[in-house]
Amino acid sequence: MNKTVKKYLKIILPILLGVFLIGYSLSKVPLAELLDYFKNANYFYVILGTFFGFLSHVSRAYRWLFQLEPMGYKVRLGNSLMAVFSAYLINYTIPRAGEVARASILTTYEGVPFEKGFGSIVAERFADFIMLMSIIAITLVLQFDFISSFFLERFNPINLLIYLGIALSLLAVIIFYIRKSTNGFALKIKNFLRGLAEGAFSIFKMKKKWAFLFHTVFIWAMYVLMFYTTTFAVDALNGIPFGAVLIGFISATFSIAATNGGIGSYPVAIYAAFSIFAIAEAPSIGFGWIIWTSQTLLVIVVGGLSLVYLPIFNRNKQSSQIISK
């Protein structure tokens, strides 16, 4: 398969999956019933949840400054914030293109070399990955009895142990192969993992590493709070167990990688998670569409304004650079 075909498949397949999942969710909950959930939602909690989402994005933009400062770049918060929102918006069109655009914006308006800006984004993604794994670990501890009984009721414990043993054995074989192989694909994986490790250690070399860690925790706390707060917008979800909120949040977070911005996949992922707790499918999917729509509108509005305002915000700086030349 040539590179051009791969490139277009990466763009088309997530879109097709998103369309399929939209159809799937509408087969579970008719459009008229779904619109009733939007009409009857408590928009105080929707707006409050959106506000928490906005705070997480502001914190992400501010956290980025801590990574760029040791490299000798004093970036303005306005440019960092608009670059972050622009990246989110662009990710709705072409998956992963937002990160490239985000680094490019700082290259254009702040003179940060692309490779350094992009490298800092890779490093922050590692910090986010650690936070997501931490949330998963906390959820497993808090809901251990429920999760273990759920799987034991549906699967034979001996089979689970066999599957776990097979999985661990395969993982060991893969790790051994990657370490020893000189194959191009294996080398790419090694370089990727090495880059993640370097990014992780670079965090601890920052002058303001504790501020960076605080904002990392704050970002993910706002994500969870955004998700939890919005559940109060749907009457049928009042009193939902916090364990269900955490599992729903984790499932929804992974779904964003499946399609552009989680379109179609986000509500279905929430429905799948909530069904474990015997929560009805209609309010689950209705809630999923409400929270996805509110966060998407935030990105479209602020991201769109950012793309328009970026050259205006930097007009004076660019003019002074031209005069100095």
pLDDT of residue 126: 83
Nearest of 213, 218, 210, 269 to residue 53 by alpha carbon:
218
Within a domain: residue 321?
A: no
pLDDT of residue 323: 35
Nearest of 237, 232, 244 to residue 284 by alpha carbon:
237
Copy the structure tokens of residue 118.
């992009």
Percent of the chain with pLDDT over 90: 43
Torsion of CA 100, 106, 112, 118, to 10 degrees: -20
| Distance of alpha carbon 182 from alpha carbon 141, whole angstroms | 40
Within a domain: residue 182?
A: yes
How many folded domains does the chain comprise? 1
Within a domain: residue 175?
A: yes
pLDDT tens-place string over residues 31-50: 999 999 999 999 999 999 99
Helix (H, G, I), strand (E, B) or coil at 325: coil
Nearest of 35, 90, 82 to residue 60 by alpha carbon:
82
Q: Residue for token digits 């928490």?
A: 52
Copy the structure tokens of residue 7.
């490139």
| Distance of alpha carbon 180 from alpha carbon 151, whole angstroms | 36
Binned at pLDDT 50, 70 and 90, residue 270 comes out as very high
Within a domain: residue 5?
A: no
Nearest of 59, 41, 84 to residue 294 by alpha carbon:
41
Within a domain: residue 7?
A: no
Binned at pLDDT 50, 70 and 90, residue 67 comes out as confident
Residue type, 90: I
Nearest of 242, 224, 236 to residue 286 by alpha carbon:
236
Within a domain: residue 16?
A: no
Copy the structure tokens of residue 139.
């959820």
pLDDT of residue 96: 74
* Structure-model confidence comparison of residues 97 and 266, the more confident one: 266
pLDDT of residue 261: 84
| Distance of alpha carbon 253 from alpha carbon 247, whole angstroms | 10
Q: Residue for token digits 């350094």?
A: 116
Structural domain boundaries enclosing 91: 31-314
| Distance of alpha carbon 48 from alpha carbon 191, whole angstroms | 42
Within a domain: residue 24?
A: no
pLDDT tens-place string over residues 138-166: 988 887 777 667 666 666 667 767 777 88
Binned at pLDDT 50, 70 and 90, residue 58 comes out as very high
Helix H segments across the chain? 3-28, 31-40, 43-68, 77-91, 97-110, 114-142, 144-154, 157-180, 184-204, 209-231, 242-255, 265-275, 281-313, 315-324
pLDDT of residue 18: 79
Q: Determine the average pLDDT of the residues in 264-289.
A: 92
C-alpha separations of 79 from 109, 135, 308 in Å = 8, 30, 12
- Contacts of 69 by beta carbon, 8 Å cutoff, 6+ apart: 206, 207, 208
Within a domain: residue 61?
A: yes
Copy the structure tokens of residue 30.
């008719």
